[in-house]
Amino acid sequence: MAQEQMNQAQDKKIELVITTPRGVKFMEKADMVIMRCVDGDLGVLPGHAPVSAALGDGIFRIINDGVEQKLAVFGGIAEIEGNRVNVFSTIAQRPEEIDRERAEADRRLAEATMQEIFETQQIRKLQVLLRHALIRIEVSSHLEEAEYVKHGEHANHEEKNSEEAASQE
């Protein structure tokens, strides 16, 4: 009887196979898998409706008998049919395969580069703002010059008219 219950429990498990270009990376039965898809997380239980999903970069969680395992999965496709999940990914890494120091160095480099890019973008925005302000200042100064010239010409024109009128008398 106990063996029969164990077999029934195994029948209610998901058969998970993760394949990368280097071959089968992970093969196990699980109670549930949760994967990062391009449009959000997807949880799969035994008997899930058939579906294909595009995977994003994220944590692939495998839950079996109350124990959770995590893999780093970067892109790919998941095909779900009944109690079988086939995952085809470019990269799938177990925790022990990850070089933590390298990942931390990559994180620091990415954050520093993002800050530099942000600062560069801010500088460019400020340069554009400054250039616009200088253009506006120069153009608004032209208005003052134009008014001065206009008033000056108008005054000179009146003086000329007065002189011409006086000479005609």
| Cα–Cα distance, 71 to 58 (Å, whole number) | 8
Backbone torsion region of residue 83, taken as left when φ is above 0, otherwise alpha when ψ lies between -120 and 50, otherwise beta? alpha
For range 53-73, the mean pLDDT: 96
Instruction: Supply φ then ψ for residue 63, to 5 degrees.
Output: -115, 125
pLDDT in the model for residue 14:
96
pLDDT in the model for residue 77:
98
Q: What percent of the chain has pLDDT over 70?
A: 78
Q: Are 18 and 24 in contact (CB under 8 A)?
A: yes
Per the model's pLDDT, the better-predicted residue between 105 and 145 turns out to be 105
pLDDT bin (cut points 50, 70, 90) of residue 151 is: low
Residues ≥6 apart with Cβ < 8 Å to 105: none
pLDDT in the model for residue 95:
94
pLDDT in tens, 87-104: 999 999 999 999 999 999
For range 15-44, the mean pLDDT: 96
Domain ranges in the chain are 2-98, 99-169
Name the residue type at position 119.
E
With DSSP H G I counted as helix, E B as strand and the rest as coil, what are the percentages for the chain, rounded to 5? 50, 40, 10
pLDDT in the model for residue 5:
44
Residue 1 pLDDT > 50 = no
Name the residue type at position 19.
T
For range 129-155, the mean pLDDT: 73
pLDDT bin (cut points 50, 70, 90) of residue 9 is: very low
pLDDT in the model for residue 81:
95
**Could you count the other beta carbons within 10 Å of the beta carbon of residue 80?**
20
Rounded mean pLDDT of the chain?
A: 84
Is the domain 2-98 a CATH 2.60.15.10 member? yes
Name the residue type at position 154.
H
pLDDT in the model for residue 141:
82
pLDDT bin (cut points 50, 70, 90) of residue 145 is: low
